[in-house]
Amino acid sequence: MQMRALLVIDMINDFLDPKGVLFCGEEVRAIISPLQEKIKQFRRDKNPVFYLCDQHEPEDLEFLAFPPHALKGSWGAEIIPELKPETIDYVIPKTRFSGFFKTPLEDMLLKLGVKTVCLTGVCTSICVMDTAADAFFRNFKIEVFKDCVGDFDKEMHLFALKRMERIYKAKIL
């Protein structure tokens, strides 16, 4: 059996809590429960779980496109309490949309023998899709759990799922 890793992308307070700076909406909170089950399943099957979390410095250039959010050390940058990582999980801060950009993710996946990355989290059309692109460029197989990804823009969410399937050869499950 090939090793799979679950990537939990940006499930942080600023995106999932109604008080968050870039709250994705109540509808997106519906992904929390199925994601809890996926996390339990991956842990039970001894497959690694990676939390990829936005963490920005106050002068981050991303704030030219989006309001300041997920400031390093802030409540907004914390993983939501419903998905609290365990000591066996990996938490990787990121400063750009892709979980691979200037992070140790690729090296860690390769050391663990991971061949397939399973994507979950928010936003489907931004960080999830850009992480899928970088996974594809690094020759990982990609799976996306449709009930575990969400976006503040339904049209862009559907576009991203279609693009990941067609362009990055992701299996949409």
Q: How many CB atoms lie within 10 A of CB 76?
A: 21
Query: What was the pLDDT predicted at 146?
Result: 98
Helical spans, DSSP H, in 45-153 = 105-111, 129-137
Q: Reply yes or no on whether the pLDDT at 1 is more than 70.
A: no
Helical spans, DSSP H, in 90-153 = 105-111, 129-137
For residue 134 the two structure tokens come to: 């970088």
Query: What was the pLDDT predicted at 2?
Result: 75
Percent of the chain with pLDDT over 90: 99
The pTM is what? 0.97
Q: Any idea what DSSP says for residue 166?
A: H
Sign of CA dihedral 104, 17, 26, 86: positive
Architecture of domain 3-172: 3-Layer(aba) Sandwich (3.40)
Q: Reply yes or no on whether the pLDDT at 140 is more than 80.
A: yes
